[in-house]
């Protein structure tokens, strides 16, 4: 799915700002038919929750309504007119005046409504969007809604971040010609110092398709006619981690030499491959450094914010990180575009977090019912998960920064039914994209002995908390556990393994000369213990600390104003460990550190 843009043949209008807002109540019947009652307004893009002081709004379970008036530009007569919602978390229904024009389930991928036959250029329409934050055992991510004796719905979920909801990304209206370029798919291959840029164009309506590729200086380096084919580029500039280079591919749909539609996307030429126990980018072994992140800031919740985007990437650069994982859902497309332009490597994750009835915010219990079964993650959940994978790959397939798909975080891959659940999903992801490796971030209880899916993956990503949830305050014991665990995985599977999560809650300003959890020294020493172990393991291809920054969670006895495992605080101030990480990552760059001589 193409991200809308203004081109010589298309116009684009951004609908961000403050919208009328109302929480759904029993007496609110068909709210799209009139101006929303009350005087509430909510900012878009932003989660609505923390914008309001009323706990009944912040914690509302169910639907909320956003509404605004939109003028359809009068110059759009004869054009195709499309409304695009970048994200409605977790389900959206869109009304233009009294009419339902789109519905979508899945909180982190875009959807559109074709308004061509519904609106009139030059006239204003009332646009109403209902957003539902309810999670069930058949949604991705899963959750449970219960109705208390007071008649109020309450919600619980298995993921360790606050269930921010609403319109956290932009809303757009755009025009295209009636005959238009619907999709573009690019893959790249390297042959010596030349590249092949393979393209497939999905164009709607008659006309001739042609493409041309320009370099960063604007010079055309290759051209071709037809809806699919290969462009050959000699002396290619590669897209490299830390050294992005982007060509531009322009697609033109013409009719007898008249331009009908035109669309351009950036193209980074790079290859990704797993060979033996190595992860190769452009044929060179690559070692991931960086973080699992969250889209999470004060007040905005998961709202996309360009200033935080810039600042977070500045901090990644400052600390010497070369990568991050979009834990635990697809991020705003602007984030991936930024990563494309700045050479940051991305592991792109679906919203499938919490498919594990035995885990709660890192704490464990025995699942009361099996995770994979009729009342847990069942066929319907699996179908929803498949749809999430389809939408993720459809949206992000052309980003050079994305080097791997992570199709779930910490599912119960140790439980019965896991293989039956995941094998078809892994097959699906491979079918949709044969160019990128696939991983799952593996939970602590899934060990190299009991895991049921790891052999199906290209890279084994591990989430491990030795020294925190296990052997807390005892880094010596933690080191032995970790060593044994990593060795087990690498010896059994012979695949690249990486740490997708390791970290400890840390309160800035807490200090100790001993191994005392929550102190800044403990975070630093916990990390260096891990790094010693990583560097001894020949199959190890990367380390992503949990988390880049502190983030909001539900309340709980093990959470102090949220999860405090950030290397930066929620307002992005470095904790002590940031400096030692910086020293290590600047030193090692993109290459695996050489093991110490006593290894
Ligand atoms: C995990 C989860 C992550 C949590 C983290 C923690 O394993 O993947 O979402 O936030 O542990 O801090 O407990």
Label residue 300 left, alpha or beta by phi (over 0 means left) and psi (-120 to 50 means alpha). Answer: alpha
Other CB atoms within a 10 A radius of the CB of residue 591 amount to 10
Residue 382 Cβ inside 6 Å of ligand 1? The answer reads no
**What ligand 1 atom has the least distance to the C-alpha of 159?**
9
| CB-count exposure of residue 218 (10 Å: 0-12, 13-18, 19+) | exposed
CB neighbour list of residue 561: distance below 8 Å, 6 or more residues apart: 550, 552
Between the CA of 79 and the centroid of ligand 1 the distance, in Å, is: 47
Q: How far is the CA of 535 from the centre of ligand 1 (A)?
A: 23
Q: Which atom of ligand 1 is nearest to the CA of 363?
A: 13
Provide CB contacts within 8 A for 38, sequence distance 6+: 22
Q: Would you state the pLDDT for residue 365?
A: 58
Asked if residue 296 has its Cβ within 6 Å of ligand 1, the reply is no
Residue nearest to atom 4 of ligand 1 (CA): 160
Active-site pick, 410, 442, 520, 543: 410
279-588: CATH topology is: TIM Barrel (3.20.20)
Question: CA-CA distances (angstroms) from residue 495 to 276, 457, 539?
Answer: 6, 9, 7
- Tell which atom from ligand 1 comes closest to the C-alpha of 410: 8
What does the alpha-carbon distance between residue 179 and residue 384 come to, in Å, rounded to a whole number?
Answer: 32
Ligand 1 centroid distance, CA of 108 (Å): 19
Measure the CA–CA gap between 455 and 544, rounded to whole angstroms: 22
Tell me the best of 294, 296, 362, 411 to mutate to test the pocket of ligand 1, counting ligand atoms within 8 Å of each CB and taking the most.
362
For 121, list phi and psi in degrees, rounded to 5.
-55, 135
CATH 2.60.40.10 in the chain is located at 180-267
CA dihedral 90, 96, 101, 107 (to 10 degrees): -10
Instruction: Determine if ligand 1 sits within 6 Å of the CB of residue 356.
Output: no
Ligand 1, atom 13: closest residue by C-alpha: 362
Residue nearest atom 6 in ligand 1 by C-alpha distance: 362
Task: Scan for tokens 């994209």, then name that residue.
Answer: 433
DSSP string, 371-396: SBSTTSB-HHHHHHHHHHHHHHHHHH
Determine the distance separating the centroid of ligand 1 and the alpha carbon of 501, expressed in angstroms. Answer: 8
Spatial separation of the C-alpha atoms in residues 248 and 268, rounded to whole Å? 9
Give distance in angstroms: CA of 155 to centre of ligand 1.
Answer: 19
Cα dihedral across residues 27, 28, 33, 38: positive or negative: positive
User: 546 in ligand 1 pocket by Cβ < 6 Å?
Assistant: yes
| Calpha distance 97→117 (Å, rounded) | 13
* Ligand 1: centre distance to CA 159 (Å): 8
Ligand 1, atom 11: nearest CA belongs to which residue? Answer: 362
Indicate if ligand 1 lies below 6 Å from the C-beta of 442: no
Question: Where do you find CATH 2.60.120.260 in the chain?
Answer: 11-176
Q: Tokens 């605080």: give the residue.
A: 569
Which residue among the candidates 479, 501, 520, 543 is catalytic per the annotation?
A: 501
Of the candidates 294, 289, 188, the one whose C-alpha atom is nearest the C-alpha of residue 246 is: 188
The residue whose CA has the least distance to atom 5 of ligand 1 is 362
Q: CA-CA distance, 302 to 293, in Å (whole number)?
A: 12
Question: Using CA positions, which residue lies closest to atom 9 of ligand 1?
Answer: 160
Strands 402-409 and 288-292: unpaired
Residue 350 beta carbon below 6 angstroms from any ligand 1 atom: no
How many angstroms separate the CA atoms of 358 and 411, rounded?
A: 9
CA-to-CA distance for 104 and 101, rounded, in angstroms? Answer: 10
Site to probe by mutation for ligand 1, drawn from 329, 501, 502 as the one with most ligand atoms within 8 Å of Cβ, is 501
Strands (DSSP E) contained in 350-489 are 359-360, 363-364, 402-409, 438-442, 459-463
Ligand 1, residue 563: give the atom nearest the CA: 12
> Is residue 463 in contact with ligand 1, taking CB distance under 6 Å?
yes
Whether 349 is catalytic: no
For 212, the token pair is: 């041309």
The per-residue pLDDT string of the chain (599 residues; one tens digit each, 9 = 90 and over) reads: 999 999 999 999 999 999 999 999 989 999 999 999 999 999 999 999 999 999 999 999 999 999 999 999 999 999 999 999 999 999 999 999 999 999 999 999 999 999 999 999 999 999 999 999 999 999 999 999 999 899 899 999 999 999 999 999 999 999 999 999 999 999 999 999 999 999 999 999 999 999 999 999 999 999 999 999 999 999 999 999 999 999 999 999 999 999 999 999 999 999 999 999 999 999 999 999 999 999 999 999 999 999 999 999 999 999 999 999 999 999 999 999 999 999 999 999 999 999 998 875 445 556 678 999 999 999 999 999 999 999 999 999 999 999 999 999 999 999 999 999 999 999 999 999 999 999 999 999 999 999 999 999 999 999 999 999 999 999 999 999 999 999 999 999 999 999 999 999 999 999 999 999 999 999 999 999 999 999 999 999 999 999 999 999 999 999 999 999 999 999 999 999 999 999 999 999 999 988 765 54
- Return the H-helix or E-strand segment holding 94: strand 91-96
Q: Which CATH number fits domain 11-176: 3.40.50.620, 1.10.3720.10, 2.60.120.260, 3.30.420.10?
A: 2.60.120.260
Structure tokens at 460: 């084994």
Strands 345-349 vs 323-325: parallel, antiparallel or unpaired: parallel
162 CB near ligand 1 (under 6 Å): no
Rounded Cα distance between 260 and 112, Å, is 22
409 lines ligand 1 (CB under 6 A): yes
Instruction: Give the N- to C-terminal CA distance of the chain in Å, as an integer.
Output: 48
Q: Is the CB of 563 under 6 A from ligand 1?
A: yes
Q: In this structure, which residue's CA is closest to atom 1 in ligand 1?
A: 362
- How far does residue 285's CA lie from ligand 1's centre (Å)? 28
Q: What are the beta bridge partners of residue 540?
A: 497
- 């990503």: which residue's tokens? 461
Q: Decide if 527 contacts 581 (C-beta within 8 A).
A: yes
* 3-state SS assignment for residue 342: helix
Known active-site residue 410? yes
Asked if residue 213 lies in contact with residue 267, where contact means CB atoms within 8 angstroms, the answer is yes
Structurally, at CATH architecture level, domain 180-267 sits in Sandwich (2.60)
Query: Residues of CATH 3.20.20.80 domain(s) within the chain?
Result: 279-588
Of ligand 1's listed atoms, the one at least distance from the Cα of 463 is 7
Q: Cα–Cα distances in Å, from 585 out to 314, 380, 582?
A: 15, 43, 5
CA of 547 to the centre of ligand 1 (A): 9
**What torsion do the CA atoms of 133, 134, 135, 139 make, to the nearest 10 degrees?**
-80
Rounded CA-CA distance 235/247 in Å is 13
Distance CA 156, CA 60 (A): 12
Q: How many Cα atoms occupy the beta-carbon half-sphere of 134 within 13 Å?
A: 16
In the structure encoding, which two tokens stand for residue 301, read together?
């919740």
Q: For residue 160, how far is its CA from the centre of ligand 1 (angstroms)? A: 6
Q: How far apart are CA 576 and CA 583, in angstroms?
A: 12
- Is residue 242 within 8 A of residue 343, CB to CB? The reply is yes
């Amino acid at each position: 799915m193409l991200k809308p843009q203004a081109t010589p043949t298309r116009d684009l209008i951004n609908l961000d700002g403050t919208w009328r807002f109302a929480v759904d109540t029993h007496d609110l019947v068909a709210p799209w038919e009139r101006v929303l009652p009350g005087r509430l307004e909510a900012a878009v893009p932003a989660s609505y929750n923390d914008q309001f002081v009323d706990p009944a709004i912040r914690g509302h379970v169910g639907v909320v309504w956003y509404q605004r008036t939109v003028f359809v530009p009068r110059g759009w007569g004869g054009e195709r007119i499309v409304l695009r919602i970048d994200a409605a978390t977790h389900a959206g229904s869109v009304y233009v005046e009294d009419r339902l024009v789109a519905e979508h389930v899945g909180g982190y991928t875009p959807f559109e409504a074709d308004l061509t036959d519904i609106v009139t250029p030059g006239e204003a329409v009332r646009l109403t969007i209902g957003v539902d934050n309810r999670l069930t055992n058949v949604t991705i991510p899963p959750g449970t809604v219960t109705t208390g004796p007071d008649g109020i719905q309450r919600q619980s979920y298995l993921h360790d971040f606050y269930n921010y909801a609403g319109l956290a990304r932009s809303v757009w209206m755009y025009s295209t010609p009636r005959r238009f370029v619907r999709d573009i798919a690019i893959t790249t291959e390297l042959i010596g110092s030349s590249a092949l840029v393979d393209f497939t164009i999905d164009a709607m309506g008659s006309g001739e398709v042609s493409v041309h590729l320009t370099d960063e200086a604007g010079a055309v380096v290759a051209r071709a006619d037809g809806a699919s084919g290969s462009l050959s580029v000699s002396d290619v500039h590669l897209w490299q981690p830390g050294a992005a280079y982007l060509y531009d591919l322009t697609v033109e749909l013409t009719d007898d030499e008249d331009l009908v539609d035109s669309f351009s996307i950036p193209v980074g030429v790079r290859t990704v491959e797993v060979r033996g126990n190595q992860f190769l980018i452009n044929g060179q072994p690559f070692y991931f450094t960086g973080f699992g992140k969250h889209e999470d800031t004060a007040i905005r919740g998961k709202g996309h914010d360009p200033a935080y985007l810039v600042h977070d990437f500045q901090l990644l650069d400052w600390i010497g990180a070369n990568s991050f994982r979009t834990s635990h859902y697809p991020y705003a497309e602007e984030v991936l575009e930024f990563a494309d332009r700045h050479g940051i490597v991305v592991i792109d994750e679906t919203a499938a977090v919490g498919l594990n009835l035995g885990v709660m915010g890192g704490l464990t219990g025995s699942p009361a019912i099996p995770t994979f079964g009729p009342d847990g993650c069942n066929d319907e959940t699996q179908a929803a998960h498949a749809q999430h994978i389809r939408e993720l790959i459809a949206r992000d397939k052309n980003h050079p920064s994305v080097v791997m798909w992570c199709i779930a975080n910490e599912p119960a891959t140790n439980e019965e039914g896991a293989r039956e659940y995941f094998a078809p999903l892994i097959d699906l992801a491979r079918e949709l994209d044969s160019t990128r490796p696939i991983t799952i971030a593996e939970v602590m209880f899934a060990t190299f002995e009991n895991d049921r899916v790891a052999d199906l993956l290209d890279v084994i990503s591990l989430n491990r908390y030795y020294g925190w949830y296990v052997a807390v305050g005892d880094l010596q014991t933690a080191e032995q556990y970790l060593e044994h665990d990593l060795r087990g995985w690498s010896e059994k599977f012979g695949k690249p393994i990486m740490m997708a999560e390791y970290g400890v809650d840390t309160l800035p300003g807490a200090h100790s000369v001993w191994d005392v959890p929550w102190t800044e020294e403990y975070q630093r020493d916990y990390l260096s213990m891990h790094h010693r172990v990583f560097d001894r393991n020949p199959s190890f291809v990367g380390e992503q600390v949990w988390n880049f920054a502190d983030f909001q969670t539900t309340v709980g006895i093990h959470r102090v104003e949220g999860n405090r495992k950030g290397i930066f605080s929620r307002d992005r101030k470095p904790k002590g460990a940031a400096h030692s990480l910086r020293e290590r990552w600047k030193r090692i760059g993109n290459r695996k550190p050489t093991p110490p001589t006593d290894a």
